[in-house]
Each structure stands twice: as C-alpha cells, then as structure tokens.
C-alpha cells in the first residue's frame, strides 16, 4: 500500500514533492480550524464547517449511523450499487484506476472493485486520516494484488496532484450524499475541479432527493446523530482550548423547502458563552450553531447541476421509493 498523503498525518510525499514538515502541518491545520470557527461564530446564523465533523471519533460514529435502520441513504445506496454494478462495468469496460472521494470506511467500494474488470489501482481520498488508513488497509487486505494509494485531502479545497494510472480508464466515486453537504455554487465548482483532475473519466455519484419530513426526522435525529454533531464542540475544546459548556447544547435537525435541505443545529438551552482564541461569543437561549447542511436535489435539478459543471450524464438508477439515486457521468479531456 502506497501513501500519497498531502496532510500532516503522513510524510511520504508523491514523487517529485518535497517532504512535509509535520509540525508545520499540524500548526497550519489548527490555525485553519481556529480561523474557520471564529469566522463561523461571528455570523448572524452561527455555523461551523461540516468538514470538522470528520475526526477519528466523528468518522467512527458516522460509520455506526450508516449501519442504523433509520439512516436510509446508506442502505438504499448499497442496494442500488448491487443492482447497477454489472451494468456500470459493461458501460465502462476495463477501468484500471478507481478514485474515491470521501472514501470513509469503503464498505460500498468493494461492490465496484468486484464488478469492474481487474482494476490496477485504487486511490482513496479522505479528510479523516484515521478512516483513510483503516479503510485503505482493509481494501489492501481484501485485494492483495491491487495497488492501494491514500491521499489525505480536503476535497472542498483545490485538489492536490492525484496519482492517477492513465494506462487504462478512470472511474471516480463520490458516493453517499456528499455533494449535498455543499451549497450549489460550491458543488458546481467541486464538480468542475473533479472533471479537470480526472478527465478523461467516468464519475459515479450519489444523490439524495428525499424531502419527506417524517423520513428525514428519523434519519437525522436520534442519539447517534446528536453525538456526531456535538463532537465538533468536543474537538474545539480539545484542539483549540475552547471554553464551552457542552451540556448546554442540544442537537436539533431542521428541515427547509427552498431549497430543500436538512440542517443540523446545536441549540443553546439557555444563555451561553463560547470562548475560543481571544474571542467570546454569546448565545441567547434558543440560539443555535449550524454544523452542516444536506441539500436534497430533485433528479432534474441534480442533472442540470452536473451538466453545468461539464459532465455528461450517461445512466441513472433511482430507488423505487424515490429515496436515493446513483448517476454515472462522463467527462472528456
């Protein structure tokens, strides 16, 4: 298994890259976290970037969430992948390189690895070094002849050079409803960056069109989801020496129509103060901190979005209950 890590967690650079200063990398990431927290808490609607949910603890909790009965996107997507994998393989033919954005635990990846004819290389990209390491190792153990590479990166930012095997066809994977965690303009920008980085290639992407409040409440509520979102406050205390009364904040998922989306909020039960760096933020009782978004595109709106980013939709698979969709896209150089 080869490391191609662009974050502080690994100092094995890609060929041609300079070795990474681990101490400087840690300081840079801490400063980014601090600056993003201060900026987010300074807004009228206080918010924290969703990418900070994904440390070791957050990633582990979310893996539990994906195995829970209430969280419909994971099970529906697995079923769609199993149904579509053979057809995807027939459309693409021999894909020598699979590149997965937000690889997480890589449970769904094996379905594609088994279906696509003899891939030579699998590149896992994730912001969580813990999940990246463990998932890549599991893939390597299951497919010992496959060249597994890791890229620690925040794909909401410009992508680093990717170790793509151009000897054959390239299939990118962007599963789950990860694209929904980004506002529309930034989602279009990310899709454009992926097209430029991967082209020529195919991209298999997940999309959640569900806007049923009852199903959303079950999927995005509950103690596991509360622990997942409150963990960002725990990170602030641990990594930024923030002063927060954690017991004062309660997780509350909120649902909106225009545009259709779910927003997790941490609501102050009474007047509270968050101190971080040299800043002090006061919250009134009932005031909240938004920790993420989950945009719910209709199929038509989603296909319009990917077309704006320069991708050509080839084939779509939709859950029979309309709760999840998979889309195979194609790019040209």
> Are residue 173 and residue 272 in the same domain, yes or no?
no
CATH number at 128 reads 3.40.50.150
Q: 39-56, pLDDT tens digit by residue?
A: 999 999 999 999 999 998
128-166, pLDDT tens digit by residue?
777 788 888 889 999 999 999 999 888 778 888 899 888
Across 20-24, 31-35, 77-81, 195-199, least confident range: 20-24
- In the prediction, which pLDDT does 5 show? 38
**Pair (204, 323) in one structural domain:** yes
Of 142-156, 185-199, 250-264, the least confident? 142-156
**67-91 pLDDT per residue, tens:** 999 999 999 999 999 999 999 988 8
Domain-located, residue 216: yes
Give the C-alpha separation, 268 to 1, whole Å: 45
Question: Is there a single domain that holds both residue 315 and residue 289?
Answer: no
Both 171 and 39 in a single domain? no
Helix, coil or strand: residue 113:
helix
- Does 220 lie in the same domain as 99? no
pLDDT band at residue 26 under the 50/70/90 scheme: low
The percentage of the chain sitting over the pLDDT mark of 90, rounded to a whole number, equals 67
Say if 193 falls within a structural domain: yes
Instruction: Please indicate, yes or no, whether residues 122 and 194 belong to a single structural domain of this protein.
Output: yes
CA distance 106 to 92: 21
Measured in degrees and rounded to the nearest 5, phi and psi for residue 3 equal -95, 130
Task: Judge whether residue 263 has pLDDT over 70.
Answer: yes
Of all residues in the chain, what percent carry a pLDDT higher than 70?
89
Q: Does residue 83 sit within a domain?
A: yes
pLDDT value of position 264: 98
Buried b (16+ CB within 10 A) or exposed e, 71-80: bbbbbbbbeb
79 shares its domain with 54:
no
Residues 225 and 201 in one domain: no
150 in Cβ contact with 138 (< 8 Å):
no
pLDDT given for residue 107 in this prediction: 74
Question: Are both 149 and 45 inside the same structural domain?
Answer: no
Average pLDDT over residues 103-111: 76
- pLDDT over 60 at 285, yes or no: yes
| DSSP secondary structure, 288-320, as one string | EEE---EE---HHHHHHHHHHTT-EEEEEEE-T
Q: For residue 113, what are the domain limits? A: 71-209+297-330
- The arrangement of strands across the sheet holding 325-330 comes to 2-3, 147-152, 121-126, 95-101, 169-174, 202-207, 325-330, 312-318
Q: What is the pLDDT of residue 74?
A: 93
Burial of 217 (0-12, 13-18, 19+ CB in 10 A): middle
Residue 199 has pLDDT above 90, yes or no: no
Helices (H), ranges, the chain: 22-41, 56-66, 72-92, 109-115, 129-142, 184-198, 213-220, 223-240, 299-308
Quote the pLDDT of residue 67.
92
Q: 148 and 132, same structural domain? A: yes
pLDDT in tens, 163-182: 988 878 899 999 999 999 99
User: What pLDDT, on the 0 to 100 scale, is given for residue 51?
Assistant: 93
Q: Are residues 272 and 226 in the same domain?
A: yes
User: Are residues 271 and 159 part of one domain?
Assistant: no
Quote the mean pLDDT of the chain: 88
Domain count, the chain: 2
pLDDT at residue 185 in the model: 95
Tell me the pTM. Answer: 0.88
Residue 124: count of CB within 10 angstroms of its CB: 27
Q: What are phi and psi of 64, to 5 degrees?
A: -65, -40
25 domain-assigned: no
Quote the CA–CA distance of 237 and 29 in Å, as a whole number: 15
């Amino acid at each position: 298994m080869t490391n191609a890590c662009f974050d502080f967690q690994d100092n094995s650079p890609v060929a041609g890259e300079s070795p990474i200063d681990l101490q400087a990398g840690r300081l840079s990431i801490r400063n980014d976290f601090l600056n993003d927290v201060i900026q987010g808490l300074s807004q009228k609607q206080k918010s924290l970037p969703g990418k900070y949910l994904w440390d070791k603890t957050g990633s582990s909790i979310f893996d539990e969430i994906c195995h829970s009965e209430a969280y419909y996107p994971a099970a529906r997507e697995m079923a769609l992948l199993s149904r579509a994998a053979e057809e995807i393989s027939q459309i693409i033919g021999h894909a020598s390189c699979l590149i997965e954005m937000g690889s997480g635990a890589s449970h769904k990846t094996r379905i594609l690895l088994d279906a696509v004819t003899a891939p030579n290389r699998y590149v896992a990209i994730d912001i969580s070094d813990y999940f990246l390491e463990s998932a890549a190792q599991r893939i390597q153990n299951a497919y010992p002849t496959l060249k597994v590479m890791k890229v620690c990166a925040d794909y909401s930012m410009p992508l680093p050079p990717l170790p793509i095997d151009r000897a054959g066809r390239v299939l990118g994977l962007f599963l789950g409803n990860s694209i929904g965690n980004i506002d529309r303009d930034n989602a279009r920008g990310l899709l454009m960056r992926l097209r430029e980085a991967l082209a020529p290639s195919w991209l298999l992407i997940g999309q959640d069109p569900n806007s049923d409040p009852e199903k959303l409440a079950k999927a995005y509520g509950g103690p596991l989801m509360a622990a997942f979102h409150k963990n960002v406050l725990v990170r602030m205390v641990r990594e930024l020496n923030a002063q927060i009364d954690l017991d004062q904040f309660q997780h509350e998922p909120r649902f909106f129509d225009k545009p259709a989306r779910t927003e997790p909020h941490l609501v102050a039960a009474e007047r509270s103060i968050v101190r971080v760096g040299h800043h002090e933020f006061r919250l009134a009782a009932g005031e909240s901190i938004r920790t993420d978004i989950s945009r719910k595109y209709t199929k038509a709106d989603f296909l319009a979005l990917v077309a704006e980013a320069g991708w050509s939709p080839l084939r779509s698979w939709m859950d029979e209950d309309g709760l999840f969709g998979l889309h195979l896209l194609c790019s040209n150089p």
